[in-house]
Amino acid sequence: MAQDLFLTDVQTLRERARELLERGAVTASYGGDVATAITLLQGVVATELVCVLRYSMHAIAVSGIHSESVGAEFAEHAEEERRHMLAAAKRIDQLGGTPDFNPEGLALRSATEYGDAACLIDMVRENLIAERLVIEHYRELIAYFGAGDPTTRILLERILAEEEEHATDMHDLLVAHQGHPFLPAG
């Protein structure tokens, strides 16, 4: 049979499942390095947490004629970033680690910066820069995890898709408030 060429027999799988129960979801077939995966995911948690804080602050601090709608957009993004952070934290737990929510050193663990924007346009720019940064960073992480850790790869692919939506939203806000597109027509 064709399935015999690559499938492990069920009895062997049952025996493996009974071994090393303390490893939880990490089985013998896990193809990555658990410690490295946890470290990289700790960076994702920190990055997403900084994004939550930045978007939340911008949602509160934004002012001006368009502040209500832009503030609502910032608040929506903050909530989505919070979900990303929790998903990465849960994956760390699945891999046997403990998510690091300690605010001490948070900025050092994060790929993005908190920022110090005071006006609406600067807030949008800061958020667009952060989104562009995480898009590149998460693409690299996705390539790293590849087939060795498909669960983490798929998690990051889902987060990446939302980060690309966030970047588009921030770009659209800049165009709306500055009157000219930054992206080439095409």
| Structural domains for the chain | 30-178 (1.20.1260.10)
Cβ atoms of 46 and 100 within 8 Å: the answer is yes
Residue 124 is predicted with a pLDDT of 95
The answer, yes or no, to whether residue 10 has pLDDT greater than 90, is no
pLDDT, one tens digit per residue, over 53-104 is 999 999 999 987 778 899 999 999 999 999 999 999 999 999 999 999 999 9
